[in-house]
Amino acid sequence: MKRYIQRFSRWQIVEHATGMTLFLVLAITGLPQEFFLQRWARWSILAMGGIERVRWIHRYAGIVFAALVAVHLVGALVQVSARRVKASLVPTRKDFLDAIAMMRYYLRLADEPPRFDRFDYRQKFEYWGLVIGSFVMIVTGFILFFPVETARILPGQVIPAALLMHGREGLLAFLIVITWHLYNAHFSPESFPFDTSIFTGKMSRERVEKEHSLEYGRLLASEKPEDEPGPDASREESSGADGANPVG
């Protein structure tokens, strides 16, 4: 039996790494513009070559980010429509019940936490928060990128409203990532000191069984008997070096 389970494809790994890089670039170039009256913001803008360079870096990164989001959503819709993958990130009634059950567990009103499938309620809520937040940032970003063209179609008040929404949503996204996401993904007791699954695509069988027990049950049921090592293979694996162990 393989020690690791493949949870993310190569494309998903690349997609996450690209999105993470773009988010950092947008935060580094966007937050100083939002707080330009602060000394640290003025110093950051000068260190990056001036406000014009910062603005263009931010705009180009935003365009690439918009393209990445579009490719992600279109690809997901195509795969779900073709029934290649299940819509496992769509929230269901169970997710809301799981959130309540987890709160009861934290308050010691329940003996066991709820059992999760491929994605738990926290991961789903965070994902859709990212999707909605990205939509707001992309729409308001293009309004600010093309203010004259926007004013020909929409009332002029839309432009300052977009400026306010863009800055506040960007700050909110930054705070959510450095608190909620980093804690759940890397600093929580279950993941500390670092969760490598989104970078390697693999998660240990023991962790999947503990954190995604419903998915793990389906995986066990779908595994063929011949995939499991016999007694001789088990003794050979236990006596061999760690580097010789199979990795799924």
pLDDT for position 247: 39
Question: Mutual orientation of helices 10-34 and 158-176 as an angle, nearest 10°?
Answer: 120
pLDDT for position 235: 45
Contact in structure between 114 and 96 (CB atoms under 8 Å): no
Q: How far is CA 160 from CA 33, 138, 155, 167, 196, in A?
A: 15, 15, 11, 11, 41
Residue 38 above 90 pLDDT?
Answer: yes
pLDDT for position 97: 95
Contact in structure between 66 and 34 (CB atoms under 8 Å): no
pLDDT for position 73: 94
Q: Mean pLDDT, to the nearest integer, of 163-180?
A: 93
Q: Is 205 left (phi over 0), alpha (psi -120 to 50) or beta?
A: alpha
Cis-peptide into 32, omega within 30 deg: no
pLDDT for position 225: 57
Q: How would residue 223 be classed by pLDDT, with cut points 50, 70 and 90?
A: confident
4 pairs with which residues across the strands? 204
Residue 189 above 50 pLDDT?
Answer: yes
Contact in structure between 3 and 229 (CB atoms under 8 Å): no
Rounded distance between C-alpha atoms, residue 232 and residue 109, angstroms = 46
Note the pTM of the prediction, 2 decimals. Answer: 0.81
Question: How high is the mean pLDDT of the chain?
Answer: 87
Q: What are phi and psi of 90, to 5 degrees?
A: -80, 125
pLDDT for position 148: 94
Residue 136 above 90 pLDDT?
Answer: yes
Rounded distance between C-alpha atoms, residue 67 and residue 200, angstroms = 24
pLDDT for position 229: 53
Rounded distance between C-alpha atoms, residue 7 and residue 190, angstroms = 17
Q: How would residue 1 be classed by pLDDT, with cut points 50, 70 and 90?
A: low
Question: Mutual orientation of helices 39-47 and 10-34 as an angle, nearest 10°?
Answer: 120
Q: How would residue 193 be classed by pLDDT, with cut points 50, 70 and 90?
A: confident
Q: Is 202 left (phi over 0), alpha (psi -120 to 50) or beta?
A: beta
Q: Mean pLDDT, to the nearest integer, of 76-81?
A: 91
Q: Mean pLDDT, to the nearest integer, of 200-222?
A: 87
Residue 243 above 70 pLDDT?
Answer: no
Q: How far is CA 171 from CA 30, 55, 90, 213, 245, in A?
A: 9, 17, 26, 35, 45
pLDDT for position 242: 43
pLDDT for position 195: 83
Rounded distance between C-alpha atoms, residue 167 and residue 148, angstroms = 20
Three-state DSSP state, 37: coil
